[in-house]
Structure 1
């Protein structure tokens, strides 16, 4: 007996990124454990991204920058990456100064223009 396919689009179960909540000052002794957690989340969920909620880390400093760099390295070695949730302006500025570019939630992808932005066309431009 065969069944007819339902009309409309097929149901697709999207992979929800795993979330790692980082809070309080993180001591250097905790960094290897957190790297292991990132690797485990990537492996067990199959998600390509671990979202690191950094809103509770406290004031940014070089220890936070080192932590995030090590988490990103651990994720890359496991075939994934991290995305930041809730970085304050001070942390974003510090990461910018160090040259570390992390993807943040709500930020458009680098290849996509922000919504509502259109490229201007000048008269006489050749059609592409």
Structure 2
């Protein structure tokens, strides 16, 4: 098994979970922007720290298992793990925490519907 095979499984699973969550109506434009910002940050950190760790001799790869494309000293395969993480973690978070209101909008207080008189259905029993 090459690193590319492993990456295809990991990133494929992460993308499938995100698509499943998107089909439930829980992914919004702000979520997409946050995922993109997190991914960009993770890629920059990966580029810097992987190159430093490889240059310091902390680890090495079996080069016959790599694609041969590098960013500095870091193989391109290293950049797939932040991609998978940036897709999977927000998807699981949205799947486990979000409740939908009618029309697909998530209510800011975790699901209580506004009643029109300034209170919400969560306040009805008080």
Question: For this structure pair, what is the TM-score category when the shorter chain's length is used for normalisation?
Answer: under 0.3
Superposition TM-score, scaled by structure 2 size: 0.21
Normalized per residue, which structure has more strand? 1
Q: Which structure shows the higher helix fraction?
A: 2
Tell which has more relative contact order, 1 or 2 (C-alpha 8 A, sep 6+): 2
User: TM-score, normalising length from structure 1?
Assistant: 0.21
